[in-house]
Structure 1
């Protein structure tokens, strides 16, 4: 079971979301809160697997609440808001997904399906292979074995995990966490891993984020959280 909380200052929004999820047998509702302070208390007490979190709330926003959570015990966070301008910031702040209000049932179902897949036991084990040099991928009905040296970056979105090379794009069942732990790919964003050899340029922005330009011209975002580590990896001064 996936145990979830709803944190939203609108009672009707909480009721509607709970109703939409109620027919999903794999999800267990464990509580709700009308503000971030009460929500943080429930998170620490109940330790849910998943939080549906409104962004616009009084005093402390959902984004601010997310930034307070311990990365080592972080539940999945699905931001729910009426304002799409917060999308990029939401993904920088630990978002699993981002849903706009009013919630449409088909869009919510996509998120629930991803959550179920993400929560399920992973069939691929690597206990006897601590370092990945080949990534098993698929493209339509073809299984491809891609050399890690060919990879420019890997990204996650609502449709899965995508492996991008200069030649094109494939999909893999491996998670970003597994790839980060078992390969030389570097974390540059919550949704992106970058290959060291694919960093041709780092374009710095005024908001302390950046973009990486790869040899084939792809632009890969670097969030503020990971920019310092990327600079440190190459011995670049961060002052």
Structure 2
């Protein structure tokens, strides 16, 4: 049985020790380095060329994404992010992470991610399909997408092409949309779609109402708005959606929120 060379990177001692303890239960895993910061990680990756990397994101001086940017694609391992922050999920998708473990995670969740990584690494057709491509083909909840503008029912739905398949998304099913760098993330029930587009262009395509821009990085469907909580300054609000999502409005969009309250 070939063992999988593995590196663990986390600036918290307890987190590093926790991952090491979990991995000792798997005889197929060979931990060759445990790193306390990004600089150590870069050096270890260059020395050992690991197949699997457990990587924290927020670290001083050199963060997890900077570690990956310093690694040549030739030696890029399968990546499982371990982090206490959920705002980096889109960036993780862009670098084709195998999984994204949000601290504190359960043992069951950890081993599910590990088994997923092992399945990918054990694929026999690596000559024709690289780990990043394998990972991308396995992502179910969000895939790089393309908006098609020729739909004759454009006023009622968005038509999106994802990996050769056409998806028709009724506008009434869109809960909210967020911006992230050069992408927009369209949230519907139990999944999302990624589009390489700007939120400004997306806003222009959507009818008002029910879609309302409440922040430079978010548009909501007011159908799913559950609660508006004014902040002390009277210019900003906390918004709760029926999906459980909590959003924050900015001062620039206070008039839109006031119209929501009035209407």
TM-score (structure 1 length as normaliser)? 0.56
The 1:120/1:199 distance shift into structure 2, 3 A limit, reads same
Query: How far apart are residue 55 of structure 1 and its match?
Result: 0.6
The equivalent position to 2:182 in structure 1, one of 208, 225, 236, is: 208
Q: Which segments of 5 or more consecutive residues in structure 1 lack a partner in the other structure?
A: 127-153, 162-191, 213-217, 225-239
- Aligned CA distance change for structure 1 residues 96 and 209 (closer, same or farther; 3 Å): same
- Please identify the structure whose Cα radius of gyration is greater: 2
Structure 1 pair 220/87, CA: closer, same or farther in 2 (3 Å)? closer
Hey, which bits of structure 1, 4+ residues long, moved more than 6 A? Answer: 123-126
Q: Which residue of 1 aligns with 2:14?
A: 12
CA distance in 2, matches of 1:18, 1:219: 33
The one of 90, 103, 106 equivalent to 1:104 is: 106
Are the aligned partners of 1:82 and 1:100 in contact in 2 as well (CA < 8 Å)? yes
Offset at 1:211?
Answer: 7.0
Structure 1 residue 107: Cα displacement: 0.1
Q: Secondary structure of the equivalent of 1:109? A: helix
Conserved 8 A contact 1:81-1:99: yes
Mean CA deviation greater in 43-52 or 87-96: 87-96
Q: Deviations over 1:137-162 (max 9, x none)?
A: xxxxxxxxxxxxxxxxx842379x9x
Q: Is the 8 A contact 2:82 2:100 kept in 1?
A: yes
The counterpart of 2:79, out of the listed 77, 80, 83, is 77
Corresponding residue of 2:36: 34
Please give the residue correspondences for 1:171-182 in structure 2 after superposition, counting only pairs within 5 Å: none
Cα gap change, 1:72/1:90 in structure 2, threshold over 3 Å: closer, same or farther?
same
Kept after mapping to 2: 8 A contact 1:155/1:193: no
Q: How does 1:1-239 map to 2 (within 5 A)?
A: 1-122=3-124, 155-157=137-139, 194-195=163-164, 198=166, 207-209=181-183, 220-222=193-195
TM-score, scaled to structure 2: 0.51
Q: Secondary structure at the match of 1:29?
A: strand
